[in-house]
Amino acid sequence: MASTGCSSLPTEPRLIDARGLKCPLPVLKLEKMLDDLGTGSQLTVLATDPMAEIDIPLYCRQHGHQYTLAREDDVLRFEIVSA
């Protein structure tokens, strides 16, 4: 009988909606979720605090995570892949 393991299925990206939250809460929420995820996991963070544009990239660089940043009106959208 063939195995039907799900390990090859891509995981759905996770979302942190940090809109309206002030520093340091967006980074703290990011750190908590990344602690629970494995390497290569995808994560989206939405934030409106201008400090997130500095804090989240700094956190990602310090911990080796890859990220991209896009702006949608007043919302910062970070796409992160965990290291």
> Which tokens hold the place of 41?
């996991």
Active-site residue, from 14, 19, 23, 48 = 23
* All residues at 6 or more sequence positions from 75 whose CB lies less than 8 Å from its CB, including other chains: 19, 46, 47, 48
Amino acid at 80: I
Chain-centre distance for alpha carbon 8: 22
Give catalytic status of residue 6 as yes or no: no
Residues carrying an active site annotation: 23
